[in-house]
């Protein structure tokens, strides 16, 4: 039975979540800082300790605080980039243990980048000048290292052009790994620099023309080709051991 006029429990703890989350993300509460006790928070927000605990549970789920029995909650993260950085470290550990995880990275790129080029072609965001600059660097590259760096910059510039800060942060934290994969696949004999440059130029031209489906298809083909080269590189490395 619903009692009319009864307080909404969700609204009661929402104020705790919103206020403390804002204080953490703004830097007012630093990583390692201890929150006030549940009783003190209850007095501060004029709510019950039960509602405080519900709010702290949500903050813990978001990864902003850590709770231990008998201790006050501790701030463990102060921004999205720090969390994504720790995620990237975990991913790097997996790759170090088994290079086959690099193929899964290509799946992640496919999910991200097909959506990015499709939206850019549809008119979302604003294509950065860094995209064309990376294309020029790609064509002028004199060695594998410079080619890989320009290649990775091209893809990162496309992602950043969409203007989604969360997506850009995720991609930036995987950027080093992506560059390493490109450096590896660019050495596969079956792939020439001219072919690689042509693939990137075709993607850019398709985005500029506003062709959503072709942009997605070209990016899919490009990443599929890179994945095939990656398989070749991993197989060659395994045979060498």
Cα separation, 76 vs 68, whole angstroms: 12
| Residue with token string 């201790």 | 71
Which architecture, in CATH terms, is 9-75? Orthogonal Bundle (1.10)
As a whole-number percent, the residues of the chain with pLDDT over 90 amount to: 39
**pTM across the whole model:** 0.60
Residue pLDDT, tens place only, 32-87? 899 999 999 999 999 999 999 988 988 887 778 888 888 999 998 644 455 445 54
Cα separation, 114 vs 111, whole angstroms: 6
Q: How confident is the model at residue 156 (pLDDT cuts 50, 70, 90)?
A: very high
Structure tokens at 51: 């509602």
Q: Which SS3 state, helix, strand or coil, does residue 68 take?
A: coil
Task: List, by residue range, all CATH 1.20.120.530 domains of the chain.
Answer: 81-239
The count of C-alpha atoms lying within 13 angstroms of the C-alpha of 129, restricted to the half-sphere facing its C-beta, is 0
How much is the pLDDT for 98?
65
Give the best-scoring range by mean pLDDT among 47-56, 190-199, 228-237.
47-56
Task: List, by residue range, all CATH 1.10.10.10 domains of the chain.
Answer: 9-75
How much is the pLDDT for 78?
45
Instruction: Please answer whether residues 33 and 75 qualify as being in contact, where contact means their C-beta atoms are separated by less than 8 angstroms.
Output: yes
Give the best-scoring range by mean pLDDT among 33-42, 180-189, 223-232.
33-42
CATH topology of domain 81-239: 1.20.120
The count of C-alpha atoms lying within 13 angstroms of the C-alpha of 222, restricted to the half-sphere facing its C-beta, is 25
Mean pLDDT across the chain: 81
- Of 120, 114, 116, 109, residue with least CA distance to 211: 120
């Amino acid at each position: 039975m619903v009692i009319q006029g009864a307080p909404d429990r969700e609204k009661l703890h929402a104020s705790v979540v919103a206020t403390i989350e804002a204080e953490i993300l703004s830097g007012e509460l630093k990583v390692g800082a201890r929150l006030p006790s549940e009783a003190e928070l209850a007095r501060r927000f004029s709510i019950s300790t039960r509602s405080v605990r519900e709010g702290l549970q949500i903050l813990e789920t978001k990864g902003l605080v850590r709770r231990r029995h008998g201790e006050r909650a501790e701030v463990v993260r102060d921004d999205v980039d720090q969390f994504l950085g720790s995620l990237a470290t975990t991913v790097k550990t997996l790759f170090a243990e088994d290079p086959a995880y690099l193929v899964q990275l290509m799946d992640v790129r496919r999910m991200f980048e097909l959506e990015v080029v499709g939206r850019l072609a549809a008119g979302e965001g604003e294509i950065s000048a860094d995209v064309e600059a990376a294309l020029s660097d790609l064509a002028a590259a004199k060695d594998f290292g410079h080619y890989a760096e320009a290649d990775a910059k091209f893809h990162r510039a496309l992602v950043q052009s969409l203007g989604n800060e969360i997506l850009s942060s995720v991609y930036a934290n995987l950027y080093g790994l992506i560059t390493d994969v490109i450096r590896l696949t660019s050495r596969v004999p079956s792939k020439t620099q001219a072919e690689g440059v042509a693939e990137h130029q075709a993607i850019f031209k398709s985005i500029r023309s506003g062709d959503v489906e072709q942009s997605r298809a070209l990016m899919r083909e490009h990443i599929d080709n890179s994945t095939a080269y990656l398989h070749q590189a991993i197989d060659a490395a395994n045979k060498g051991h």
